[in-house]
Amino acid sequence: MLLSVVLLELFAAVVTLYFAFNMLTPLIKSYKNAKSLDVVAKGPKTHWFFGHVGQFGKTSQERLKKLTELAQSFPALFNVWRGPVFSAILMYHPDPARSFVTSGAPKDDFGYRFLKPWLGDGLLISKGKKWQRNRHLLTPAFHFSILKPYTEIYNQSCRVMLDKWADCVGKPLEVHDPISLMALDTMIQCAMSSRTNCQNVKGKHPYIKAIRELAECVGQRTQNPFYFFDWIYFLTPAGRRFSKAADIAHKHAETIIAERRKALEDLKACKSKYENVKNNCQYGGKKLMDFLDILLQARDDQGQGLSDAEIRDEVDTFLFEGHETTARGMAWATYNLAKYPEFQKKCREEVMSVIGEKENVEWDDLQKFPYLTKFIKESLRLYPPVVFIGRKLNTALTVRSDVFKTKEVVIPENSNLSFNLFCLHRNEHIWKNPTIFDPERFSQEECAKRDSYAYLPFSAGSRNCIGQNFAMNEMKTVLAQILKRYELYLDEETPMPIVETRVILQRKDGIYVKIKPM
């Protein structure tokens, strides 16, 4: 009996030591790596436990302002501690940007790991051969022949939204929520060939509400070192709130996939349709192949398609990335049109000279909006929807720059990198008067003078945004329709913006303008 007790206690001790070793070893390794990054790029003084968490301000707006200010003392990069053992090198200069985006390094295991229970292992998060395979399979979905007919959907969805705005003339109008619904409506029609009538749902659409919850939860999680551990986080109220919202988002995607599977079972011409995608999409009168068709029908060189889990991951990723980031860009651009009436006037004159009395903005019109395009780019510079891009180095990275005392630094393997696009686009070492809104920064002459890695709203390199042409086409179409129908303005009743970051850049309590009919 005594021997049994001793053996049981010994077994318990061994198990405890095993789990302690497996928990402590990666933490010790992470701490050593973080200390080595201090040698490469030491930043501001840290707290012994919290690191830099909480030191840059309590709100997102305060943190972004502080980081932009720190960029003047640390012109290219510095090491940011996230608690007592984790850190990442924060970058915001074209020189490290060039090394960063061309390195081929996979997404990091910090912030993106927090997104994984929501977005799965889709294009945004996946790595290595899986990412390369899926990127190759999905690229045909963004061929210009696929994108061209979408302009009709952009116009239709936008008109639904603008008709509803007619009831808000002369009143403070919160534009992000309706633009987000319009972008979701557009994305579901373009990528999924499905109609949900989501713009006419009373109250907040459950999917929109869910992704707001998810984005807020992820943003809060990055600011709490205790939440970095899954086994702690998902036991908390915040973790349960995240899981509930993720379930809603997943069910929304699964419903769309199930409906399409049923439709494809009834459509015997699916195979010939997919062949037509490869042959310049000559469909005659048939419905154009869309993103979900390609997901369901695509095959790699071994004849293998995407699994059910992979399809849902990609749908979740594109429903979020394809509508919410674009919606943020359109909402901020709408606000900037109202804020800068002189630029609004120039944009409207250009739009009207191109489309005249036509009801729709047509595909060929999109290339005839050079000034509107410059305006959109300047809005994306100051308010990039995606603020941070993360990577984890699988090999050491050499960064060369004249702003370093040693002219180059070598960042060791396994280091976490975080590129801050908000700070890059407002870096005084790169941009003259960076907080001044000036569309002429994107004239051909000014662009030729500037480093090509100084402006990265859609990232760059092999992992650039696969849907950037879709996004720009939608933004130009929607803003042109808004300019044709309404004049936008601000006055003393219009709330001022408070910038927040919750996965993407947004404004606390909405984005407001006022409108009057043209």
Furthest-apart CA atoms within the chain: distance in Å? 95
Whether the predicted pLDDT of 508 surpasses 80: no
Structure tokens at 269: 């011409």
C-alpha pair distances (Å), 475 with each of 179, 373, 450, 485: 11, 9, 24, 16
Q: According to the CATH classification, is domain 105-384+425-517 in 1.10.630.10?
A: yes
Report the residue count for the chain: 518
Cα 105 to Cα 108: distance, rounded to the nearest angstrom: 9
Residues 6 or more apart whose Cβ sits within 8 Å of residue 239: 227, 233
Place of tokens 């944009």: 347
Q: Which of 228, 234, 178, 187 is nearest to 205 (CA)?
A: 178
In this prediction, residue 228 carries a pLDDT of 84
Could you report the per-residue pLDDT of 93-131, keeping only the tens digit for each? 999 999 888 888 888 877 788 889 999 998 888 888 889
Lowest mean pLDDT among 4-18, 88-102, 393-407, 479-493: 4-18
pLDDT at 288 over 80: no
Which two tokens mark 236?
């908390």
**What's the pTM value of the predicted model, to 2 decimals?**
0.86
**Is the sign of the CA dihedral 7, 13, 16, 20 positive or negative?**
negative
SS3 string, 10-58, reads HHHHHHHHHHHHHHHHHHHHHHHHHHHHHHHHCCCCCECCCECCCCCCC
DSSP string for residues in 273-298: HHHHHHTTT--TTSPPP-HHHHHHH-
Domain map of the chain by residue range?
105-384+425-517
What is the pLDDT confidence band of residue 414, given thresholds at 50, 70 and 90? confident
What pLDDT, in 10s, does the model give residues 207-228? 888 888 888 888 888 778 788 8
For the chain, give the percent of residues with pLDDT over 90. Answer: 38
Residue 91 pairs in a beta bridge with 77, 419
Q: Which residue has the higher pLDDT, 468 or 29?
A: 468
How many angstroms separate the CA atoms of 289 and 143, rounded?
A: 11
| Cα distance between residue 488 and residue 490, in whole Å | 7
- The answer to whether residue 23 scores a pLDDT higher than 70 is no
The chain-wide mean pLDDT, for the chain, equals 85
Tokens representing 131?
């990412």
**Cβ atoms of residues 473 and 366 within 8 Å:** yes
CA atoms in the 13 A half-sphere facing the CB of 368: 15
**Which residues 6+ apart lie within 8 Å of 285 measured at CB?**
none
Of residues 104 and 284, more confidence is placed in: 104
Cα–Cα distance measured from residue 329 to residue 465, given in angstroms and rounded to the nearest whole number: 14
CB 483 within 8 A of CB 410: no
